[in-house]
């Protein structure tokens, strides 16, 4: 009010400034504020605590598009088109010809051509009334539907859902909802890195899985400051081979838990009774084989590679038990028909061992405690104290601007206090 000389700008003026002027520079302004706080000695920019939370999008909760539904509808069209072709072949095989079209993932153009060919073949033949109706329906509706599905799949990308009123938002299972039953709602995954409850980095993601967010989140950090953090502490949601490899490649000391970390800690005082767990099997390094609790050797049976959804390649070593018939531990071990098979990711095992060593050190214990009291209170302040459990704007770009303003305000308010 003082800066504006008590003048009252129109709402649209403020909105245009926020949406158009701040869109490309909000991240730079945020970084400048963080560097100012760093120079004042209020935070350590190179030691961060990272976590994520889901914030509901400003979108209709009941107008959604599901990738599985699109896939199912396309398969139904393919199946019915094939059935029509087979019927035409039984009635007019000579006119139809012997070359069968590809019915897997047909395009709108292919469907139109195939239906037209079936109609020409059946012309003048005695045709079942229901088949005629189906062909008319197919000609009228299927090409348009397939074009619609293609457009929706383009919007979906590698996601499994989106909201019609905010296509950038994905349906995610929320902890806080009006029905208190973990409903799926359109939302964004907000990732924050903090130090001393000051926000050091923020990023917005359309996927609900935290595992896939760490790499782009830290790349954004690097683009804002020109370097990576020296230390990153995060919970088990980020513990994957790809993330550990990425942190190691960029010389980031990783105090990052993995899925079974707490179960493994519990083994020190109380043995884990899940026989099939790799951690419960003895590994004979000389003969490269595992020994099960019943003394059954599991010999090496080969190697394979697999790619994750991000294209990251994992190397797997396979081990197989020769005889599991009549084993008294089968109920717990759950071997298959051909005996127990293990798939071991050696590189991930090494990363886990390093992570466990760091996390169980005195420094690691302190950082695990600090993470819970560093980043999570910031989420609580933004969502509950500031009433930002739901975004006001729509679209990822505008949501990023809204988030940037929120975290800048949070940092300045904390600095003032």
Nearest to 98 by CA among 125, 123, 121: 121
Residue with tokens 């069968």: 100
- For residues 362 and 38, the answer to whether their CB atoms sit within 8 Å is no
Would you say residue 177 has pLDDT above 90?
Answer: no
Would you say residue 274 has pLDDT above 60?
Answer: no
pLDDT confidence of residue 269? 47
Would you say residue 289 has pLDDT above 80?
Answer: yes
pLDDT interval class at 121 (50, 70, 90): confident
Angstrom distance (rounded) from CA 223 to CA 227? 8
Where do runs of H (alpha helix) occur along 56-192?
Answer: 67-91, 93-96, 108-122, 129-156
Tell me the two tokens of residue 364: 């690691």
Give φ, ψ of 309 to 5 degrees: -65, -20
Angstrom distance (rounded) from CA 279 to CA 257? 16
pLDDT interval class at 268 (50, 70, 90): very low
pLDDT confidence of residue 74? 93
Would you say residue 130 has pLDDT above 80?
Answer: yes
pLDDT confidence of residue 298? 83
Would you say residue 233 has pLDDT above 80?
Answer: yes
Would you say residue 255 has pLDDT above 90?
Answer: yes
Query: What length does the chain have?
Result: 417
Nearest to 142 by CA among 231, 82, 188, 194: 82
* CATH topology assigned to domain 11-60+169-261+355-416: Nucleotidyltransferase; domain 5 (3.30.420)
pLDDT confidence of residue 123? 82
Residue with tokens 């509901």: 56
pLDDT, the chain, mean: 88
> 206: burial class by Cβ within 10 Å (0-12, 13-18, 19+)?
buried
Beta-ladder partners of 190: 53, 204
DSSP annotation string for 201-224: EEEEES-S-GGGTHHHHHHHHHHH
CB atoms inside a 10 Å sphere around CB 274 = 13
Domain limits, the chain: 11-60+169-261+355-416, 65-162, 276-343
Nearest to 238 by CA among 281, 189, 274: 189
Angstrom distance (rounded) from CA 352 to CA 6? 59
Share of the chain above pLDDT 90, in %: 54
pLDDT interval class at 106 (50, 70, 90): confident
Range picked from 41-55, 96-110, 322-336 for highest mean pLDDT: 41-55
Q: Which range has the worst mean pLDDT, 116-130, 182-196, 330-344?
A: 330-344
Would you say residue 338 has pLDDT above 50?
Answer: yes
pLDDT confidence of residue 297? 83
> Which whole number is the average pLDDT over 10-24?
88
- Strands 198-205, 231-234: pairing is unpaired
> Which whole number is the average pLDDT over 204-222?
94
- For residues 295 and 318, the answer to whether their CB atoms sit within 8 Å is no
Q: Which range has the worst mean pLDDT, 58-62, 69-73, 286-290, 334-338?
A: 334-338
Q: How far is CA 295 from the centre of its chain?
A: 40
Residue with tokens 């009006």: 178
Nearest to 380 by CA among 51, 81, 156: 51
- Coil vs helix vs strand at 355: helix
Distances in whole angstroms, Cα of residue 51 to Cα of each of 229, 271, 367: 15, 30, 13
> Which whole number is the average pLDDT over 213-222?
96
Would you say residue 273 has pLDDT above 60?
Answer: no
pLDDT confidence of residue 415? 92
Angstrom distance (rounded) from CA 284 to CA 199? 47
DSSP state of 310: T
pLDDT confidence of residue 61? 86
DSSP state of 48: E
- For residues 202 and 190, the answer to whether their CB atoms sit within 8 Å is yes
> Which whole number is the average pLDDT over 156-175?
92
Distances in whole angstroms, Cα of residue 277 to Cα of each of 111, 325, 341, 350, 353: 50, 19, 12, 17, 16
Distances in whole angstroms, Cα of residue 377 to Cα of each of 53, 258, 275, 326, 334: 12, 22, 39, 54, 42
> Which whole number is the average pLDDT over 348-366?
93
Tell me the two tokens of residue 4: 């504006």
pLDDT confidence of residue 181? 66
pLDDT confidence of residue 290? 86
Is the pLDDT higher at 382 or at 285?
382
List, for residues 4-13, the tens digit of each pLDDT value: 899 888 889 8
Is the pLDDT higher at 1 or at 380?
380
- Coil vs helix vs strand at 12: helix
Nearest to 343 by CA among 310, 371, 372, 306: 306
Range picked from 82-96, 204-218, 282-296 for highest mean pLDDT: 204-218
pLDDT confidence of residue 28? 95
pLDDT confidence of residue 259? 86
Share of the chain above pLDDT 70, in %: 93
Is the pLDDT higher at 339 or at 300?
300
Tell me the two tokens of residue 356: 């466990």
């Amino acid at each position: 009010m003082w800066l504006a000389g008590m003048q009252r700008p129109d709402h649209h003026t403020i909105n245009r400034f926020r949406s158009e002027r701040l869109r490309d520079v909000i991240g730079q302004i945020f970084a400048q504020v963080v560097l100012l706080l760093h120079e004042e000695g209020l935070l350590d920019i190179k030691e961060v605590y990272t976590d994520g939370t889901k914030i509901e999008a400003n979108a209709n909760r009941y107008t959604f598009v599901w990738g599985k539904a699109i896939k199912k509808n396309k398969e139904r069209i393919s199946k019915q088109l094939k059935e029509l072709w087979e019927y035409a072949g039984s009635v007019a095989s000579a006119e139809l010809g012997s070359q069968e079209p590809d019915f897997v993932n047909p395009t709108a153009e292919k469907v139109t051509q195939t239906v037209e060919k079936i109609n020409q073949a059946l012309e003048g033949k005695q045709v079942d009334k229901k088949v005629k109706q189906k062909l008319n329906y197919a000609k009228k509706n299927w090409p348009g539907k397939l074009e619609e599905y293609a457009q929706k799949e383009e919007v979906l990308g590698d996601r499994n859902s989106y909201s019609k009123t905010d296509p950038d938002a994905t349906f995610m299972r929320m902890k806080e909802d009006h029905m208190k039953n973990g409903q799926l709602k359109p939302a964004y995954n907000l990732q924050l890195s903090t130090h001393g409850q000051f926000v050091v980095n923020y990023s917005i993601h359309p996927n609900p899985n935290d595992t896939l967010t760490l790499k782009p989140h830290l790349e954004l950090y690097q683009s804002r400051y020109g370097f990576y953090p020296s230390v990153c502490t995060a919970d088990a949601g980020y513990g994957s081979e790809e993330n550990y490899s990425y942190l190691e490649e960029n010389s980031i000391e990783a105090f990052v838990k993995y899925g079974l970390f707490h179960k493994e800690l519990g083994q020190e005082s109380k043995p884990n009774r899940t026989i099939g767990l790799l951690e419960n099997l003895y590994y004979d390094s000389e003969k490269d084989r595992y020994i099960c609790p019943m003394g059954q050797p599991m010999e090496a049976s080969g190697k394979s590679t697999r790619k994750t959804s991000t294209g990251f390649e994992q190397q797997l070593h396979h081990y197989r038990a020769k005889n599991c018939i009549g084993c008294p531990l089968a109920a717990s071990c759950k071997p298959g028909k051909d005996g127990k098979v293990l798939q071991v990711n050696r590189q991930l095992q090494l990363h886990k061992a390093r992570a466990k060593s760091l996390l169980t050190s005195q420094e690691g214990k302190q950082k695990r405690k600090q993470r819970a009291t560093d980043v999570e209170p910031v989420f609580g302040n933004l969502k509950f104290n500031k009433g930002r459990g739901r975004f006001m704007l729509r679209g990822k770009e505008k949501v990023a601007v809204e988030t940037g303003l929120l975290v800048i305000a949070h940092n300045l308010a904390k600095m003032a206090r």
